[in-house]
Amino acid sequence: MTDDRAEIGDVEDRIVQLMLAFAQGAGTHLMSIAAIRAARDQYGDRIRAYGDDWYAALPAAVFFARALGSAAAHLAASEGRQFIEPSHFDEASRRTSIRPRIDCPFC
């Protein structure tokens, strides 16, 4: 048996981890390709900068991604949309900032 944490993964692997958490928060709402790209553009450098300490940041980052997904889905639903668009993602990101309460490099 191996420890999965032994492999840090690259930035795309880490983004997939966070997108899965985002999807948990978003529920049945789908994310447009443009919104996925907006998320990668906004958070990719922060994810990359965390380097080998990725697993130290992961619990807070997952918490944030779930909250972000929920907020983005709510914004899309308020417009009667099934897809989360970049505008929903951007607004949810602004509304979901939790930096003062927890140590999260993405929040």
For 7, 84, 87, 95, 105, the CA distances from 91, given in Å and listed in that order, are 33, 11, 6, 6, 19
> 9 pLDDT exceeds 90?
no
Total tally of structural domains belonging to the chain: 1
Through-space distance between the first and last CA atoms of the chain, rounded to whole angstroms: 34
**What is the model's pTM?**
0.81
Q: What is the pLDDT of residues 35-69, one digit of tens each?
A: 999 988 888 888 888 878 888 888 888 998 999 99
Query: CB neighbours of 29 closer than 8 A, spacing ≥ 6?
Result: 72, 73, 76, 77, 82, 83, 84
Q: Is residue 3 part of a domain?
A: no
Question: Burial, 11: exposed, middle or buried (Cβ in 10 Å; 0-12, 13-18, 19+)?
Answer: middle
Q: Is residue 107 part of a domain?
A: no
Q: Is residue 106 part of a domain?
A: no
Q: Is residue 101 part of a domain?
A: no
Q: Is residue 105 part of a domain?
A: no
Question: Residue 48's pLDDT is what?
Answer: 83
Domain limits for position 30: 8-95
Q: Is residue 104 part of a domain?
A: no
CATH (domain of 12): 1.10.8
